[in-house]
Amino acid sequence: AFAEKTEPEAVSEENAVEIEETELISEDTEENLVTETVTAEVEAKTDESANDSCETENILTEESISFEENEMDDALTENAEPEAVSEENAVEIEDISADTTEEITDVNEKTQELSQEPAAEEPAVIYPLIRLRGITKTYKTGAIETKALRGIDLDIEEGEFIVILGESGSGKTTLLNIIGGIDSVTEGEYLFRGESMVTADEKTLNTFRKDTVSFIFQSYNLLEDLTAKENLRLVTALTEGSIDPETALASVGLARKVDFYPSQLSGGEQQRVSIARALAKRPKLILADEPTAALDSDNGIEVLDILHNITKIEGCTTILITHNPEIARMADRVLRIKGGKIAEVTENKEPVGAFDLRW
């Protein structure tokens, strides 16, 4: 439009040629400019395409990796999860699973019950009232040694009436003193109801002598300045759960002589007082050393009858030393001691009563 308004004036032929050449050059220049512009645009698009290609490649790589990971997850899922089963199979599997769970629960409950149950205890060892093993006793006087006991093995049960026979010096009294806790052993083991009396301290021995054992001596051992009742009260005052002195004296036939002094009583009556004294503290063990030696046969039989009744009625154990073999007939067992050893043990299948004895 601008050219139309500003058309140049006519020119010469030479000028026309120049103008024509100039126009051609302009056209070529314009074409070159267009070509360069297109080339630049193409190059720009080529670079953009290259960038897009790199981005695309990266995206494809990431998608490939993600795809591979998904394939691996699917593979693991396929391995971990069971295949789909039919409804019938699912019911069977559920039943089997329920049964298995129930069995496991039962096993766990039984295991818990067994774990709560106390462990089976070993059966307790049952000891006799008295157990002696390898008992020896040696007395020393200067350079002289006297072996009173040479290895005594003996068991005595509760409620037994035992008679020990033997000559003088055979060890009978020494054995009785060891059993009563007033003498010690040189060697060996002495158990009373399973407890060692060899290793017991003095306090334990004092309690044992005070509460468990009663002695009856040949010589009575009564205090002359005290009445029969008062002699018993010395014992009952020191012992819990003892029998009243008058009741104890009445049990041996001395109900009317509770206030008599020893000098006012006969030998048999004094021995009855000593028996009542032994009975008053309710002993578990009565040790009688020649209780009838100083008595005539009638009084001796009465004393033996009292001792026998105490053993059977009260349930205590009596060990009696004597030289009289007739008395052995009323014993449950008879021990014969010779030279510090038990030479013979005899069991009476049918012990006799005291009033069946004769000497």
CA angle centred on 340, ends 334 and 345, rounded to 5°:
20
pLDDT tens for 229-277 read: 999 999 999 888 899 999 999 999 999 999 999 999 999 999 999 999 9
pLDDT tens for 11-36 read: 445 555 455 555 544 555 555 544 55
Do residues 273 and 262 touch, judged by C-beta distance below 8 A? yes
Q: Is the pLDDT of residue 215 over 90?
A: yes
**268 CB-near residues (< 8 Å, 6+ apart):** 295, 296, 298, 299, 300, 302, 303
pLDDT tens for 310-333 read: 888 888 999 999 999 999 999 999
pLDDT of amino acid 120? 60
* Terminal alpha carbon distance of the chain: 182
Of 13-27, 120-134, 203-217, the least confident: 13-27
Do residues 137 and 183 touch, judged by C-beta distance below 8 A? yes
pLDDT of amino acid 6? 46
Phi, psi (rounded to 5 degrees) for 33? -65, -40
The percent of residues above 70 in pLDDT, for the chain, comes to 66
Mean of per-residue pLDDT scores for the chain: 80
Of 74-78, 116-120, 191-195, 299-303, the least confident: 74-78
**Strand residue runs (E) in 142-259:** 144-156, 161-165, 187-192, 195-196, 213-216
pLDDT tens for 227-242 read: 999 999 999 998 888 9
Angle between helices 267-280 and 297-314 (to 10 degrees): 10
pLDDT of amino acid 311? 86
What is the Cα–Cα distance from 358 to 221, expressed in whole angstroms? 27
What is the Cα–Cα distance from 299 to 276, expressed in whole angstroms? 15
State pTM to two decimals: 0.66
Do residues 236 and 244 touch, judged by C-beta distance below 8 A? yes
**More confident position, 319 or 116:** 319
Provide the token pair at 356. 């069946």
pLDDT of amino acid 2? 53
CA angle centred on 205, ends 200 and 207, rounded to 5°:
130
The percent of residues above 90 in pLDDT, for the chain, comes to 57
